[in-house]
Amino acid sequence: MKNFFLTLHMVSMCLVVGTLFVQSLSVVFRLKLKSAQEMAGIRFIQVRIHKFIYYPILAVTLVSGTVLAAKTNAFVQAHWIYPKLGLLIALVSLGAVNGAQIEKDILPKKYAMMTHIGIFIIGAAMIYLATVKPF
């Protein structure tokens, strides 16, 4: 059962980070468009992906990670899990910023790009902590 939840967690985590990464990049690209019709069409697709792909996959990731941590007693034995949870909060916060940026442009292009870079760095740090388990 542990292998099932580990596989589910790894796949869903990749989908969460990948979805956020592509969504934030598409926000930056959308800001370069000139036509209001094109922007509205892209925004419609972005909203659908954010609501109907990102949030359900995020829920699967959170549930599978919690079950996996409980099964392996990680909250007591693995001290690397606490920085990973902190990074998770930061990643979910960037997802919320990305969702707000999708709904209406709240950030200029350069700050929207920083959100994109932050998602990449936080995702990489979470993968590092989970695979290397430095402490």
pLDDT in tens, 16-73: 999 998 998 898 888 888 898 998 999 999 999 999 999 999 999 999 999 999 998 8
- Which residues contact residue 59 at a Cβ distance below 8 angstroms, ignoring those fewer than 6 apart? none
Output the pLDDT for position 95. Answer: 93
Q: How much is the mean pLDDT over the chain?
A: 91
Choose between 56 and 112: higher pLDDT. 56
Output the pLDDT for position 31. Answer: 83
For 128, counting Cβ atoms within 10 Å of its Cβ (0-12 exposed, 13-18 middle, 19+ buried), the class is middle
Instruction: Map out the domains of the chain as residue ranges.
Output: 2-132
Q: How many CA atoms lie within 13 A of 131 on its CB side?
A: 7
pLDDT > 90? residue 88: yes
How far, in Å, CA of 7 to CA of 115, rounded? Answer: 28
Tokens encoding 43: 């925004």
Q: Is the pTM above the cut of 0.85?
A: yes
